[in-house]
C-alpha cells in the first residue's frame, strides 16, 4: 500500500462516493521504480516519445492482402524502431504475440507493447449494453461480467480496456448513453468501482486481468442538445457533484488509467484542463496511473480554437498531464522539438514515460509479454461465460407495464406470433461497441422463443417492416400472422447503429414505420407484448398507453433471445429497474429525477409554474422504476435517530413484504433531500439501494446506513461541505414513490458516532 496523506485524500472522497477502495495492485514498489528509472536513463527523447504514442492499425488485419502486407510492414517497422508504446485495434493472441516479439526482440530496448482495446460490454461473449447492465442494480453481476470480459480479452492479447465509461448522462438523444450507467452519480459511482474491480481482478499481472480506463474525463455526457462531441457548459458545482463522482470512485477502486474527453470544460478542452487533470486528479485524488487522450483529442484542440497548431496542442496536453497520445501522433511528431526549443521540460516527458513503464511492469509484461493461444481458445465464449451473460441479461430487462398480468405468458397459449423487424436479428442484440462480437454467436429473440416453445407451442413469425425504412409492404402479412395467434410478441426498437459514438438522435420514438405497424396489429384485438430492443430510453407514449405489456429489453448481447424468453415464459421474474428516466417526448429532455425544485415547482394546472402546456412535465417512467410478476408493500419506515451530527451515522429501516404469489426481487431504494442549503440541492438523491429476494407472503426488514458525510456537496468555492439542517428521507421502489420521514443534521449531536 502507498502511504497516508495523499492516500487519505482519495479515501475521504471514495468513502463519500464509493464504499469500497481497493486495488493498489497496479501501483509500483520502489524496486520497480528503480528499474523504470534505469530504463528511462537509457532512452533517447525519440524512444521516450514512442512510449507515449498509441498506434492504431491492428485493423490492417481486415483489409485486402496486399494493402495488409504493406500496412503491416510499416507498422512492424514503427514497433522495431521503438516509435510505438501502445497499440490499439489489434486482436488475437497469435497476432499480438508477433508484435510483442518484434517489440521485445528487435527494438533495441526490448520494451513490450501495451495493447488497448474497447472491451466495453464483453470481449467475444457480448453482455448487455452497459446502460442495461446498470438497470440490474446488481454490482456483483456487473463485476462478474467484467471478470469474464477481462479473462477473454487478456487471453487474446489485450492488456488494457478503454472502459469503464462512467459519464453521467441525462439526455437520451446522446447516443453514448448506451455505454454508461445512466443518470445518477451515486449509482454510477458504485458501478464504476465494480467494473474496475472486475476488469483489474486481484493483480494486473494475472493472466485474467486487464487494466481499466475510466472515461471520458470529464463531463462528456453533458453535450449540449445531446449531440455527440458538442460543447459542454456546466457550473463547477455540477461538475463536482454530478460528473466527477464516478471518476472519483474509479480512482478509489484503483483504476490504472483515465481517458481525457473530447469536450471542453469552462472553455478549456478537457484534454488540456489543469483543473481536472491536475488539481482534481493528481493533487486531490493522488492518482498515480496515467492518462491517455481520446482518439485525436489532442490534435482536435486546434479545431476547438485552443491550440494554434498540432505542436501547440501537443505541448498543452503533455503539460496538463495527458501522458499518452491516442492516434493523433502529435507527441511523436512535435515534442522532441518542443524539448529542444525549451518549450517543454524533458522532466515532464520523463514523468509520463515513467507512468507508462510502471504500468507495463504492473501488467507483468516485462516478465511475459505473450498470451497463450490455447487459453484463448478454451476461454473464449465458453459455457460458463455464456451463462453469466444470460444471467445478467435477464436481470437487465425492465418490465415497464403488465396489465391484467398478461405476462408471464399463460400455459394455455397454443400459438405465439413473433412480429417486428428486430425479432430475427442476430446483429442488433450485440449493440454498440461489440468490437469483435459476432452475429453468429447471438441467440435472436425468435430463436429463443422457438427453442422454449419446442413442439408444444406454435411459433409464427413476420417482420412487418424494416427498423428504419418507410415501406409498409409487410404490414398485411404481419396482420395475418397476428390473427392466427393467441398472443403477439412484437420486437421493436433501434438497430445497433442507432446508439453509441456519433449516433445521437433528435427524435426518441420508434424509428421508421414501426409505430404504424404496432397500431395495425393492435387493431386486430390480439393481446400484445412489446419487447423493446434499444440503446437509450425511448419516448413511447402511445405504446405505454395502449399496449398491455412492455419490456425494456435493450441490446442484451449474445444471450438476448434466451434472456427475453426466460422473462416472457416466467422462467425468471423480472428484476431490472430503470437507471435512466424515460421521457414522454423528446421536448422534455434533459429529464432526470434529481432535478432542482426551482422557485416555481411544476403544478400541471397552474399557469405560472415550471411545466409545459402541451405535455405533462413528469416522465413516462421514472428512475428506479420497474415491475415484477409479484407485488411489494412498504411499511414501518423508521430511523435510529431523528438527528445526527456532521460526522454521524443514521440507520434507516423499512419492512418490505411480498404480497403476491411468486418469489421476486425488489430493488429497495433510499433517497434523501436537503431542504435548505447554502446552494440549492436536488429534490431527491439516491443514497442507497439493496436487491432483496422475498418469498411470497414474507416480509423482509431492509436497513440502510446513511453517513452524514454522504449528505454534503461541493459549493461554488469547490469545497465539500456538510451543512446542518433539515432533510427528508424516503425508502421506496423508485424515485417517485416511497415512505417518507424527516431528520436533521445538527452540530455536536450526541448521535455523532465518528
Q: Which residues bind ligand BGC (CB under 6 A)?
A: 118, 162, 215, 294-295, 501
Whichever of 56 and 625 has its CB closer to ligand BGC, that residue is 56
Whichever of 85 and 626 has its CB closer to ligand BGC, that residue is 85
E-state strands within 132-287: 160-161, 213-217, 257-260, 264-265, 268-269
How many other CB atoms are found less than 10 A from the CB of residue 477? 13
Q: In the bound complex, what is the minimum distance in angstroms from residue 127's beta carbon to ligand BGC? A: 17
Q: In the bound complex, what is the minimum distance in angstroms from residue 165's beta carbon to ligand BGC? A: 7
Q: How far apart are CA 162 and CA 291, in angstroms?
A: 11
Whichever of 162 and 331 has its CB closer to ligand BGC, that residue is 162
Q: In the bound complex, what is the minimum distance in angstroms from residue 53's beta carbon to ligand BGC? A: 14
Are 438 and 126 in contact, with CB atoms under 8 Å apart?
no
**Any bridge partners for residue 650, and if so which?**
706
Whichever of 500 and 664 has its CB closer to ligand BGC, that residue is 500
Q: Note the residue count of the chain.
A: 754
Sign of torsion over alpha carbons 188, 194, 196, 199: negative
Q: Which long-range contacts (CB under 8 A, 24 or more apart) does 338-343 make?
A: 338/311, 338/314, 339/45, 343/315
294 is catalytic: yes
Nearest Cα residue to 62 out of 101, 87, 90, 86: 90
Q: In the bound complex, what is the minimum distance in angstroms from residue 300's beta carbon to ligand BGC? A: 11
At residue 639, what are phi and psi to the nearest 5 degrees?
-115, 155
Q: How far apart are CA 412 and CA 722, in angstroms?
A: 58
Q: In the bound complex, what is the minimum distance in angstroms from residue 130's beta carbon to ligand BGC? A: 12
Q: Which residues of 199-234 are buried (b: 16+ CB within 10 A; e: fewer)?
A: bbbeebbbebbbbbbbbbbbbbbbbeebbbbbebeb
Q: Which residue is nearest to ligand BGC (CB)?
A: 162
Catalytic residue among 294, 441, 495, 566: 294
Q: In the bound complex, what is the minimum distance in angstroms from residue 229's beta carbon to ligand BGC? A: 9
**Cell 463485476, located at residue:** 143
Q: How far apart are CA 285 and CA 224, in angstroms?
A: 28
Q: In the bound complex, what is the minimum distance in angstroms from residue 332's beta carbon to ligand BGC? A: 18
How many other CB atoms are found less than 10 A from the CB of residue 441? 20
Q: How far apart are CA 75 and CA 79, in angstroms?
A: 6
3-state secondary structure of 321: coil
Would you please indicate which residues are annotated as catalytic (active-site) residues?
294
Amino acid at each position: 500500500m502507498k502511504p497516508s496523506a495523499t492516500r487519505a485524500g482519495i479515501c475521504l472522497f471514495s468513502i463519500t462516493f464509493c464504499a469500497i477502495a481497493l486495488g493498489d495492485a497496479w501501483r509500483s514498489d520502489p524496486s520497480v521504480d528503480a528499474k523504470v528509472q534505469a530504463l528511462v536513463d537509457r532512452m533517447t527523447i525519440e524512444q521516450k516519445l514512442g512510449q507515449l504514442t498509441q498506434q492504431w492499425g491492428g485493423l490492417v488485419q481486415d483489409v485486402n492482402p496486399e494493402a495488409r502486407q504493406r500496412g503491416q510492414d510499416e507498422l512492424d517497422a514503427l514497433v522495431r524502431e521503438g516509435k510505438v508504446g501502445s497499440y490499439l485495434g489489434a486482436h488475437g493472441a497469435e497476432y499480438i504475440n508477433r508484435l510483442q516479439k518484434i517489440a521485445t526482440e528487435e527494438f533495441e530496448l526490448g520494451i513490450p507493447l501495451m495493447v488497448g482495446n474497447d472491451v466495453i460490454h464483453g470481449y467475444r461473449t457480448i453482455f448487455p449494453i452497459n446502460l442495461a447492465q446498470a438497470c440490474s442494480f446488481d454490482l456483483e453481476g456487473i463485476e462478474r461480467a467484467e471478470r469474464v470480459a477481462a479473462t477473454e480479452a487478456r487471453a487474446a492479447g489485450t492488456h488494457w480496456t478503454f472502459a469503464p465509461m462512467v459519464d453521467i448522462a441525462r439526455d437520451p438523444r446522446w447516443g453514448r448513453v448506451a455505454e454508461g450507467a445512466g443518470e445518477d452519480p451515486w449509482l454510477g459511482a458504485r458501478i464504476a468501482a465494480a467494473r474496475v474491480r472486475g476488469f483489474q481482478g486481484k493483480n494486473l499481472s494475472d493472466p485474467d486481468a486487464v487494466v481499466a480506463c475510466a472515461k471520458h474525463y470529464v463531463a462528456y455526457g453533458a453535450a449540449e442538445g445531446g449531440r455527440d462531441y458538442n460543447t459542454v457548459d456546466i457550473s463547477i458545482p455540477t461538475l463536482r457533484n454530478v460528473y466527477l463522482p464516478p471518476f472519483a470512485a474509479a480512482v478509489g477502486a484503483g483504476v490504472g488509467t483515465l481517458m481525457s474527453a473530447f469536450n471542453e470544460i469552462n472553455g478549456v478542452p478537457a484534454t488540456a484542463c489543469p483543473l481536472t487533470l491536475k488539481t482534481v486528479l493528481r493533487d486531490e485524488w493522488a492518482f498515480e496511473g496515467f492518462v491517455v487522450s481520446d482518439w485525436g483529442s489532442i490534435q482536435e484542440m486546434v479545431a476547438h480554437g485552443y491550440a494554434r497548431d498540432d505542436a501547440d496542442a501537443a505541448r498543452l496536453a503533455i503539460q496538463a498531464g495527458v501522458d499518452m497520445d491516442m492516434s493523433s501522433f502529435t507527441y511523436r511528431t512535435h515534442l522532441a522539438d518542443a524539448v529542444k526549443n525549451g518549450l517543454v521540460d524533458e522532466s515532464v516527458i520523463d514523468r509520463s514515460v515513467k507512468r507508462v513503464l510502471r504500468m507495463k511492469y504492473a501488467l507483468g509484461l516485462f516478465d511475459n509479454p505473450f498470451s497463450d493461444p490455447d487459453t484463448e481458445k478454451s476461454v473464449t465464449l465458453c459455457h460458463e461465460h455464456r451463462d453469466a451473460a444470460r444471467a445478467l441479461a435477464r436481470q437487465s430487462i425492465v418490465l415497464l407495464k403488465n396489465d391484467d398480468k398478461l405476462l408471464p405468458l399463460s400455459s394455455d397459449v397454443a400459438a405465439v406470433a413473433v412480429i417486428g423487424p428486430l425479432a430475427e436479428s442476430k446483429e442488433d442484440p450485440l449493440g454498440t461497441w461489440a468490437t469483435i462480437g459476432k452475429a453468429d454467436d447471438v441467440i435472436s429473440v425468435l430463436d429463443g422463443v422457438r427453442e422454449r416453445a419446442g413442439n408444444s407451442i406454435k411459433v409464427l413469425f413476420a417482420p412487418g417492416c424494416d427498423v428504419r425504412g418507410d415501406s409498409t409492404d409487410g404490414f398485411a402479412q404481419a396482420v395475418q400472422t397476428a390473427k392466427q395467434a393467441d398472443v403477439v410478441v412484437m420486437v421493436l426498437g433501434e438497430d445497433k447503429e442507432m446508439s453509441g459514438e456519433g449516433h445521437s438522435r433528435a427524435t426518441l420514438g420508434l424509428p421508421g414505420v414501426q409505430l404504424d405497424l404496432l397500431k395495425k396489429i393492435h387493431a386486430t384485438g390480439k393481446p400484445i407484448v412489446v419487447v423493446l430492443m434499444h440503446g437509450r430510453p425511448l419516448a413511447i407514449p402511445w405504446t405505454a398507453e395502449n399496449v398491455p405489456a412492455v419490456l425494456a429489453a435493450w441490446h442484451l448481447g449474445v444471450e438476448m433471445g434466451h434472456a427475453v424468453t426466460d422473462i416472457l415464459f416466467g422462467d425468471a421474474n423480472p428484476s431490472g429497474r430503470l437507471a435512466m428516466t424515460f421521457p414522454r417526448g423528446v421536448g422534455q429532455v434533459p429529464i432526470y429525477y434529481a432535478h432542482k425544485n426551482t422557485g416555481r415547482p411544476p403544478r400541471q394546472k397552474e399557469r405560472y409554474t415550471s411545466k409545459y402546456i402541451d405535455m405533462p412535465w413528469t416522465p413516462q417512467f421514472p428512475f428506479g422504476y420497474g415491475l415484477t410478476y409479484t407485488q411489494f408493500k412498504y411499511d414501518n419506515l423508521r430511523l435510529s435517530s431523528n438527528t445526527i451530527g456532521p460526522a454521524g451515522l443514521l440507520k434507516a429501516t423499512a419492512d418490505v413484504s411480498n404480497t403476491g404469489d411468486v418469489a421476486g426481487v425488489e430493488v429497495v431504494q433510499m433517497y434523501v433531500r436537503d431542504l435548505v442549503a447554502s446552494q440549492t440541492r436536488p429534490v431527491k438523491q439516491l443514497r442507497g439501494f439493496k436487491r432483496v429476494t422475498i418469498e411470497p407472503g414474507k416480509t423482509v426488514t431492509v436497513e440502510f446506513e446513511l453517513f452524514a458525510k454522504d449528505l454534503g456537496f461541493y459549493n461554488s468555492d469547490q469545497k465539500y461541505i456538510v451543512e446542518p439542517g433539515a432533510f427528508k428521507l424516503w425508502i421506496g421502489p423508485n424515485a417517485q414513490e416511497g415512505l417518507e420521514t424527516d431528520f436533521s443534521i445538527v452540530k455536536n449531536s450526541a448521535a455523532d458516532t465518528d
